Amino acid sequence: MSVERETLTYPLFGEAVRDLAQQVVDSGYEPDLVLAIARGGLGLAMGLGYALDVKNLSAVNVEFYTGIDQRLAVPIMLPPTPAAIDLSGLKVLIADDVSDSGRTLEHVRAFTADHVADARIAVIYEKPQTIVNADYVWRRTDRWIDFPWSVDGPIVDRRGGLAH
């Protein structure tokens, strides 16, 4: 039995970025910084930075998923992390590709909570089981998502040589 999939193409990704940026503008929120959750949120953060004319971008690298439907017990923030003083008093827009379980977003929101003036979350996709509902969502789905940057898999397997 095949699993129903949601397919995000690069052209749809461009539409998603613009739509999310418009949602942010329409809400009246003016972020000082866009904080990407690497790796999935990097492209979205860059696009939102351009669309919202925010040049202050940063990233946090959170490891949680180790494979398809395989996770660590808890999300782990990998160094380097933005210094808390760099976030002090800022309005931050946290960007990620998907809020699946929501545990990664919860971890990053908690990391920023005591330091920022306000933090809001933008995601391309939100799943029904998430524990964190984003402020800005392009689409909601319960399907497996094929992202254009990961659908073909890596060219190199860093643990064992060439992947293809």
pTM of the model: 0.85
For residue range 60-104, what is the model confidence (pLDDT) as tens digits?
A: 988 765 555 555 566 666 566 666 557 789 999 999 999 999 999
Q: Which residue has the tokens 């999935």?
A: 40
Look at residue 154 in the predicted model and tell me its pLDDT.
83
Cβ neighbours, 10 Å, residue 14: 11
For residue range 3-46, what is the model confidence (pLDDT) as tens digits?
A: 789 999 999 999 999 999 999 999 999 999 999 998 899 999 99
Look at residue 128 in the predicted model and tell me its pLDDT.
97
Residue 164 or residue 54, greater confidence? 54
